Structure 1
Amino acid sequence: MLLKVVSLSAMSLAKPLFIALAALAVAGPALIATPAHAAPSLEEVQAKVRQLEEDATTAAEGAQEAKVKLAILTKTLNGIKAKAEVQGASLSALQKSLGTIAVEQYKSGTLSQGLELLFSSDPTLYLSSAGALDAITRGKSAQLRKYQAAQQRLSATTLTVNDKLALVAAAQKKFAAQSALALSKLKEAELLLSKLKKEDRERLAKLAAAQEDADQASSLAAAAGANGVSGRAGIALKYALKQIGDRYVFGAAGLVTWDCSGLTMRAYQAAGVSLPHSSSAQSRMGKKVSLKALKPGDLLFFGRPISHVGIYLGGGRMVHAPRSGSRVKVTTDLNMGRKALVGARRY
């Protein structure tokens, strides 16, 4: 029985907490009076929160990669199971046909050794006498040869089913582990912020909201000037730019909330290109592009292992869904903290 898969899209993680997270990047050290003894400095809090935020996003994309792999394996497994059912039905029909032959031979007193072995209640006797049965099938019965071949095919298919079941279980385990890791990192960040004074958290939230408003204004201005891109790239880029202002949520793929790979997946789906919901999986598709030869519509990939993706807008800019607490926006910063730009693909 397959393990139950828990969807990341159900995680409603864009809470006021993460507005406070984003604000740490723009807050000044005067916000918190730090005693010399125990309390960490603002810079230390800022660095730790950003690290936790990046770790959570990395884990969430790892979960998405496992989810994509799980879907592929499950589809393959279902196909193999269907094949096994067909082979089993064929084997039963052959056995029934051979049973009719055995009855007729028994009535006439000419039941062959091969058929006696085939219908014996002792499997050990049957297996130990396989050589004798082979000799009979080679010389005497096309039906027996078909039956033996069908048995071999069904045995091979059964082994394949068992192998795929093990892979499915492993993918499910990874999905669950990565999902739990993403949540634990966010809870750790929440605990860190809870140690701040209430007035400091409120001020951080206001600063973050102001920064988001500024980002949205500049993003909409960039989108208004992004015309003239044709083909699939143009369609995908136009789709992504229409989502500016939508919230980031782990595992989301529209229509009003997104994660990074969910946004790029839907954008290229609008252009007729099928991509999986995983930045890592998307990085293995399409045509590799030099970072010195980027064109609008190319997908940009970040981190090792890859855990973020955005759509290149041109002029050193991209549109993307950054992280929890933020919204879909255009950025000129192609250095995602510890997640360096590592590659690009064209579809």
Structure 2
Amino acid sequence: MDKEMRILYGAQPAVAIKKGGLYIQLLKTKEHMEKCGFHIDLNDPWKDPAPEDYNLFHLFGANFSTNILGTLMKDKDIPLVVTPVFFSKHSAGMLRMVNRSNSLLFKAFKISTPHIYTKELLDRADKILPNTPRESELITHGFGIREEKVSLIHNGVDERFYNATAELFVKTYGKKNFILYVGYIGNHRKNTLSLIKALQGIGVPAVFIGPLVKTPYGELCLKEIAKNKNITLLKPLPHNSPLLESAYAACDTFVLPSLFETPGLSALEAGLAGAKIVITKYGGTRDYFGDEALYVEPNNIQSIKNSIVKSLVKEKTNTLKNHIRKKYLWSFIAKQIEKIYRSFR
């Protein structure tokens, strides 16, 4: 069934509500795989898919919230492909020890930890598609997964960001050459409070675009933003918004000082639009941005501040822009995924 393969996609139950990078990654994979001739369905929790209807099930995320969906699909004898989106600061050796201890705890006392659910999915998967070499190493050496089951597939990015211009954002908001952050405001992993504090005293306008998380941490972010007249807070923009790509092109430096990123879709988009990048050093970001970004220690506010100041005095070049265009456009990434899918014919 060369051009008639049917594939089912799944993720954690709240993926469409939460949105974010994984949501975009799933939908963009679907879009580009359909262009390659595949029939893609999104899993409906109110429907029981028949095994004969699908060549494989592609699960995005390997954790507690996706474990039961992946294992039940595998129980139906539908081949399982997993994009884990996994990160740990532990070394592969330490992770291996943790997994062994977890296994013993569960067998002896039925005590479960998050890694148990990830390992079960990875063990049962027919193919695993990590986003970074670091993630690949953790999967093979930390979880003990055979290397032949693992294929590195980088995150893709839309070429439209390469052609972005600043005019629309400048016309709409009257701002250019600012510091930009795009993402959840008040999400602990995104480390927005540290970013807001790092911006104090820099004296350059900053723009935050994204939804506010209604938590005590989110409220702290709002209080800190109110202290800095240079920060403009804008509501989230749809991913397909011309204003979003224009914001990337209009800014001087894009900052993503998260606790970790794998590798940060918004940073890829901003880099492709020509922005200078300041980003967390954790999660495989260096594998994507190489020497063309500045890397921060997310738990150190001074590290974030210093890197932003250093970035602001650097000249913009097209080196990162062209690097991302050469390696990470969806037109290139889609061909790699297509080859994997077709191996299940």
TM-score scaled to structure 2, two decimals? 0.25
For the pair shown, the structure with the greater C-alpha radius of gyration is 1
Greater fraction helix: 1
Of the two structures, which has the highest relative contact order with CA contacts closer than 8 Å and spacing of 6 or more? 1
TM-score scaled to structure 1, two decimals? 0.25
Greater fraction strand: 2
